[in-house]
Amino acid sequence: MTDKKYDAIIIGAGHNGLICANYLAKSGKSVLVLEANATVGGAACTREFAPGFKVSAGAQWLYQLNPTIVSDLKLIAHGLVYAAQDLDSIALNPNGQQHISIHGSHASGGDLSEQDAHQFAALQGQLLRFVRVLDRVFNRRPPKLIESDWHDKLTLARLGIDMKMLGKEDMSEMLRVGLINIYDLLNEHLDNPLLKGALSLDAVLGSHMGPRSPNTVFTYLYRLLGQHYRFNGPALLKGGMGQLADVLLHSAQHQGVEVRTNSAVITINLNADSAKSVTLGNGDTIVANSIVSNADPKTTFTKLVGLRNIEAGFSRRVQVIRMNGNAAKLHLALEGLPDFTGLNAQQTGARLLIAPDMKYVERAFNHAKYGELSPAPAMDISIPTVHDGSLAPAGKHVLSATVQYAPYALKDGWTEAQKQLAQKVAIDTIAQYAPRIKEQIRAAEYLSPADLEQQFNTHGGHWHHGEISLDQVLMMRPTPGCTQYRTPVDNLYLCGAGAHPGGGLMGLAGKNAAEEILRG
């Protein structure tokens, strides 16, 4: 037992954990962050996956980091440097030409009609107006609806006013499309199959949903928060996503936050209804006034608190949270810049999307529903070395891709053979767009959701620590009875992506949690 009693202990040095720690320390709290891995950052990390080749092993793009957090925590001053910003997303056409580029609300290229380009800009414009309303809700703790206090009532009143301020037409449209699927919405507005395919992928990335699953307009809006935060396209950080971790760490330490790596928390210790301390793998027990878990809710309650130590109704709620990941990561170390048909070298550094039409994405999802691998997966590809030479030896390149779908609960299990097969399918899929890529591969790594679970200590390997579906957002996130960053265990808080509003390197969960903890 170490003697010092902290105001707060944060379990897990993921970005939300560090952000939460930072805000708490800024308010004068003594904060200790405990990280199981050797490095901080969680899924915001840079890792060498082959000798000389480094990759953002978790999240590969930065596209919705909250600007308030960037300025509050002075992240630029602490060294946040972009390697590239506002990158185009290029929807790859299987015919090797007529690719379509998307930049913010503007789409161009290929066989995109003028009308579609116009319609797309109008649709994005309208959706961004909805996003502005959502952002105001995401910036605060989710309100309780019946047991609401003045703070919640204010949130609700503001939401009501914001909705009314949209005007009759926008408001009724938001109420209409808020709960439906991206497939129908895009079909209402657009004709071009390639553009629709790419946009639908944005709505389902990292989730267990297909374009036709109701709820996917909401997930699309969620992603559009990035554009609201003035990301007109994804960004890359110099040195990979690990830089974000370093910057957040630096900023936190500057505020006096103590961070210990290689310090896995084994248990959260309770005294009756209240969290008192944590015990580390080495047996040390550290006490604090508040214990804040950046781990996902299932890990927090199943492993750290123990389901037997909470009441059974809440245990039941934890057990039924849906958080099986459905996206894999593919990392390739390449001898040269891959030669994507129809793209020049600079374009190769854009965000490349394999989602030729919505049906393709939906069919890829079909397999995932049954615990099968998608034979033709949809992909989101990044070749960061186009912008950042520090990640690979000179002249060599790194390709990082999100492979959608790869179900966590694979029927045959994630055996080595299954992984090999999945990797082959993913590479074959890319090779249809970059035919010579196979000859360029020096090393390859495939991370299934099971691997992601293990590496990042997230149950199910889910990006968002819990499916972002409408039944698991706002006051249902992570689960009823555990909202507003508080839990049924007194002094135990959640600050991770499993809490409102969710993940995606946005940081709001960490920030909002800190505000709630400070509220006491």
Partner 1 sequence: MNELSALPQHTTQMMLHTPFHSRVVEACEINEWSAWQGYTTPSSYTNVEFEYFAIRSNTGVFDLTPMTKYRITGADAEAYLDRLLTRNIAKLAVNRVAYIVMCNDAGDVIDDGTVFRLADNEFRLCTQERVLDWMMWSAAGFDVEVIDETADVAALAIQGPTSCRVLRNMGFAGMENLKPFGMQTFEFNGARIMISRTGYTGDLGYEAWMAPEQAESFWDALFEAGKLRGIRAFGSEALDIARIEAGYLAAGVDFVPAEQIVRNGRGRSPLELGLGWLVDFNKPVFSGRKALLKQKEYGPRYRFVKLSVEGNKPAEHSFIYCRGKAVGTVTSAGWCPTAKTNVALASLEMPYGRPGDELEAEIYYMRELHWTRLMAKCTIITKPVWEPARRLQTPAPDA
Partner 2 sequence: MKKYDAIVIGAGHNGLCNAAYLAKSGLDVLVLEKNSYIGGATVSRELHKDWTYSNCSYVCSLLRPEITRDLELPRHGLQVQPYGGGVTFCKNGDYFGNYDDHERQQREIARHSKRDANAYDRYAADVMKQTRLIRPFLMRTPPDPTSLKPRDLKELMHLAKAFGEMGEEGLADTLRFWTMSIGDFLDEYFETDVLKAHLAGSGIIGTALGVYSPGSAYVLLHHYMGDVDGTVGAWGFARGGMGAVSAALASSFQSFGGDIKCDAEVGQIMVKNGKTTGVALSNGDEYHADIVVSNLDPKRTFLNIMAESDLPADVVKKARNFKIRGSSGKLNIALDGMPTFEGIENGSILLKGDMHFSDSLERMERAYDDWKDETWSKDPYLDMLIPSQIDPTMAPPGKHMMTVFVQYAPPYIDGREWTDEERDQFGESVIQQIANHSPDFRDLILHCEVRTPRELENEVGLTEGNIFMGELTFDQLLFNRPFPGYAQYRGPVKGMYMCSSGTHPGGGVMAAPGANAAREILQDLRRPNIVPGAYADD
Q: Which is nearer to partner 1, 319 or 415 (CB)?
A: 319
Q: Which is nearer to partner 1, 324 or 429 (CB)?
A: 324
H/E run at residue 334: strand 327-334
Q: How many residues touch partner 2 (CB under 8 A)? A: 39
**Is 115 a residue that touches partner 2 (CB under 8 A)?**
no
**Is 480 a residue that touches partner 1 (CB under 8 A)?**
no
Partner residues linked to 362 by β-bridges:
none
**Is 122 a residue that touches partner 2 (CB under 8 A)?**
no
**Is 470 a residue that touches partner 2 (CB under 8 A)?**
yes
Beta carbons of 462 and 323 less than 8 angstroms apart: yes
Chain positions 165 to 204 lying near partner 2, rule: CB under 8 A, are 168, 171-173, 175-180, 184, 188
312 interacts with, out of partner 2, partner 1, none, CB within 5 to 8 A per kind: partner 1
- Choices 64-72, 211-219, 223-231, 295-303 (CB under 8 A): range interacting with partner 2: 211-219
Report the nearest approach of partner 1 to the CB of residue 297 (Å): 14
**Per-residue CA distances from 212 to 301, 366, 478 (Å):** 33, 11, 24
Concatenating the DSSP letter of every residue in 310-328 gives S-HHHHHHHHT------EE
**Is 190 a residue that touches partner 1 (CB under 8 A)?**
no
Question: Per the structure block, which two tokens stand in for 390?
Answer: 């520090």
Q: Beta strands 5-11 and 31-34: pairing type?
A: parallel
Distance CA(81)–CA(244), nearest Å, equals 9
* Cis status of the peptide bond prior to 478, with omega within 30 of 0: yes
* Distance linking the first and last C-alpha atoms of the chain: 26
- Choices 306-314, 340-348, 416-424, 449-457 (CB under 8 A): range interacting with partner 1: 306-314
Report the nearest approach of partner 2 to the CB of residue 179 (Å): 4
476 interacts with, out of partner 2, partner 1, none, CB within 5 to 8 A per kind: partner 2
**CA-only gyration radius of the chain, Å:** 22
**Is 308 a residue that touches partner 1 (CB under 8 A)?**
yes
- Choices 68-76, 139-147, 236-244, 297-305 (CB under 8 A): range interacting with partner 2: 139-147
Distance CA(498)–CA(465), nearest Å, equals 4
Q: Which is nearer to partner 2, 126 or 267 (CB)?
A: 126
Judge residue 502's burial from the number of C-beta atoms within 10 Å of its C-beta, 0-12 exposed, 13-18 middle, 19 or more buried: buried
191 interacts with, out of partner 2, partner 1, none, CB within 5 to 8 A per kind: none
Binding residue for partner 1, selected from 27, 30, 98, 309, defined by CB under 8 A: 309
> For residue 346, what are the contacts with CB-CB under 8 A and spacing of at least 6?
386
Distance CA(140)–CA(483), nearest Å, equals 12
Site residues for partner 1 per CB under 8 A: 270-273, 302, 306-316, 319, 481, 488
Site residues for partner 2 per CB under 8 A: 144-147, 164, 168, 171-173, 175-180, 184, 188, 209, 212-215, 320, 322, 359, 362-363, 366, 369-370, 469-472, 475-476, 480-481, 483
